[in-house]
Structure 1
Amino acid sequence: MTAKPPSNAPRASSPQAGPSPASTVGAQAAIAGAAPASSSTAAASPGHTPANALVHVENLTKRYRTTTALRDFSLDLAAGHIVGLMGPNGCGKTTLLKILAGVLADYSGVVAIDGHAPGVATKKIVSYLPDADFLNPAWDAKQAISVYSRFFADFDAKKAASMVDFFELPTNRPLSEMSKGMGEKLQISLVMSRRARVFLLDEPISGVDPATRDVILEGILREFDPQSLLIVSTHLISDIEHFVDYALFVKEGRILLQGDADDLRAAHADSLDAIFRKEYR
């Protein structure tokens, strides 16, 4: 994996590692949208957004050539919630998060983050964990924290160091010598240490063992600001059920079910995991 700092950066500077610092930061900025989104050819302006909606999506459709990833997708999410974006692989979860993060701009419909269409303004308040590794494998935790400190004006290096300590990560070992779980913990430590209003985590517990999943979720919850909104995508419903207070089930690019997690459990007289298994058979 090429050295890449994260998405959503409002400004850029860079560290010593891998290719030249400028190219390292620039590559990720171009891929993940640090610069203003280019040619949002089909996106509509935000228009009216419900007063309490931090994230507003209305009639969102996204197509990839012959495939429609999202179909007439609409939702409103307020601050103070941990939202489980649930569904099997390929159902549109990653596409939705990329649009909210400002990584994908070619869509139809309305998308607003705190009243603004995804772009420069929203990247300053959205912290995004993509579904792929984005750190230079030559970096250790200290170097990664240094990168984020220079790349994001709202980054809290002390919080990141605290999370690294909570996760019991080595601070001087390069990422290439860390396990998959350690690497995921480091990336989460960085993403959760921004003073953002919206946090988008794409499959943060995928590919790690159950014990590591529990520790990762505990670390995320430990740093969650109730004034912000956290959206976590996953297909591992049983692992995340206790963690979310709002559930959004997605199937073939459409919302299948959504609502308060307790209300859904009561209405179906079953767990979210059991609901998932029934609906996606």
Structure 2
Amino acid sequence: MALRIPEGKEAVVSEFPPPQPAPAAPEAPQPAPAFAPDAPQPTPTFAPLPSSVPVLWCQNLTKTYGSAVALDRLTISVPAGRIVGLLGPNGSGKTTLLKMIAGVSHPTAGEVRVAGLPIGPQSKALVSYLPERPYFSRSMRVREMLAYFADFYSDFDGALAHEMLGRLGVDPAAACSTLSKGTVEKVQLTLVMARHAALYLLDEPIGGVDPAARDYILSTIIHAYRPQSTIILSTHLVRDVESVLDDFILLRYGQMLLHAPVAYVREKGTTLDAFFREEFRC
């Protein structure tokens, strides 16, 4: 049975809003020169959205694989300036949802818009996506990965990337083949958060690191976060991320159970972690 927020509770709007005119299409990003640490770097950013245009909205979003339903008629609206936890057990549809927002997977039915734009080159230019699995060649060096992003994304902030790597204790000259799995994930998180994007999609950003590093990584995310942007952070480690979240979305078997502020569960005298465990206990 789906959960419902009682009337009178302040909650993030989860119903699909009336369609709004999309903002003027941003100019196509131009390739930037390869990053040189001593050279000044441009840091373009997207124009602030009108309050009537959510950063993300989906209507009846559905994804099936044969007879298996990965996501079932999800309808949701997420405004700018929020850090949102996408929560649910394995197989609940979290990764499927993020892939469709990022445009690397296509819905079977329904619609997705980012900043009022349908999924396509213009929306993808506003999204910075961290997939669950590493995707760079182990033969590359960290600085080569930075240069790759600087060439590909005009909104990549090389100075910020170097600052974040310093906070995480990563040597830009290091070869990826010499780095641990957790350190590779730190580097990829740095690349994603060093962009000036409208929407950040982070799929299990702390799942592959040791507990001692999780708080440090979360603080790095917050340090790089810009208030006009929105972060959607998928995880099953609710206790670790609860303190940085504004809102949460609960998914189960591809369906949305609840989309609400974290304050909603705190008003009940509990924590989001306890609320999650109670809802999904076996």
- With normalisation by structure 1, the TM-score equals 0.81
Give the deviation of 1:10 after TM superposition. Answer: 6.2
Counterpart CA distance in 1 for 2:259 and 2:269 is 15
For 1:92, the equivalent position in structure 2 comes to: 93
Structure 2 regions of 5+ residues with no counterpart? 1-27, 35-49
Q: Which residues of 2 match residues 1-281 of structure 1 at below 5 A?
A: 51-266=52-267, 268-281=268-281
CA separation of 1:118 and 1:50: change in aligned 2, threshold 3 A: farther
Aligned residue for 1:279, secondary structure, equals helix
- Secondary structure of 2:185 counterpart: helix
Q: Retained in 2: the 8 A contact 1:10–1:120?
A: no
Question: What corresponds to 1:29 in structure 2?
Answer: none
Preserved CA contact (<8 Å) 1:181 1:212: no
- Shift of residue 118, structure 1, vs aligned partner: 1.0
Structure 2 CA distance for partners of 1:204 and 1:213, relative to 1, 3 Å: same
CA distance in 2: counterparts of 1:97 and 1:168, whole angstroms: 29
TM-score by length of 2: 0.81
Q: Quick check: 1:128–1:200 contact (8 Å CA) kept in 2?
A: yes
Residue 91 of structure 1 contacts residue 250 of structure 1 at CA under 8 Å; is this kept in 2?
yes
Closer/same/farther in 2, CA of residues 172 and 50 from structure 1, 3 Å limit = closer
Question: Partners in 1 of 2:253 and 2:165 — Cα distance?
Answer: 37
Q: Which letter maps to 2:177? A: S
CA distance in 2, matches of 1:11, 1:137: 27
Q: CA deviation at 1:14?
A: 11
Greater shift in the superposed pair: 148-157 or 221-230: 148-157
The 1:190/1:71 distance shift into structure 2, 3 A limit, reads same
1:107, CA displacement in angstroms? 2.3
Report the AA paired with residue 191 of structure 1.
Answer: V
1:157-184, CA deviations, whole angstroms, 9 ceiling, x for partnerless residues?
1111111111110221111111122111
- Asked whether the 8 Å contact 2:93–2:253 carries over to 1, the reply is yes
Distance 1:123 1:176, change over 3 A: same
Q: Deviations over 1:6-62 (max 9, x none)?
A: xxx9677999xxxxxxxxxxxxxxxxxxxxxxxxxxxxxxxxx98141101111111
How far off its partner does 1:138 sit? 1.5
Give distance in 1, aligned partners of 2:77 and 2:138: 37
SS in 2 for 1:169: coil
Are the aligned partners of 1:10 and 1:123 in contact in 2 as well (CA < 8 Å)? no
1:34 aligned residue: none
Please give the alpha-carbon distance, in whole angstroms, between the structure 1 residues aligned to 2:113 and 2:51: 10
In structure 1, stretches of 5+ residues that fail to align are 1-8, 16-48
Alignment partner of 2:91: what SS? Answer: coil
> Aligned pairs, how many?
239
3-state SS, counterpart of residue 75 of structure 1: strand
Identity %: 40
Aligned residue identity for 2:222: L
Displacement of 1:265 after TM fit? 2.2
Question: Offset at 1:189?
Answer: 0.6
- Runs of 4+ in structure 1 deviating by more than 2 angstroms, as ranges, are 9-15
Give the RMSD, CA atoms, in angstroms. 2.0
Cα deviations across residues 234-276 of structure 1 (Å, max 9, x unaligned)?
Answer: 011111111111011111101112201112321x321111011
* CA 1:62–1:224: 2 relative to 1, 3 Å: same
Q: Distance in 2 between matches of 1:131 and 1:250?
A: 17
Offset, 1:126 = 0.4
Structure 2 residue aligned with 1:32: none
| Greater RCO structure (CA 8 Å; 6+ sep) | 2
Deviations 1:55-107 (A, max 9, x none): 01111111011210111101100010000000111100000000000111242
Amino acid at match of 1:140: R
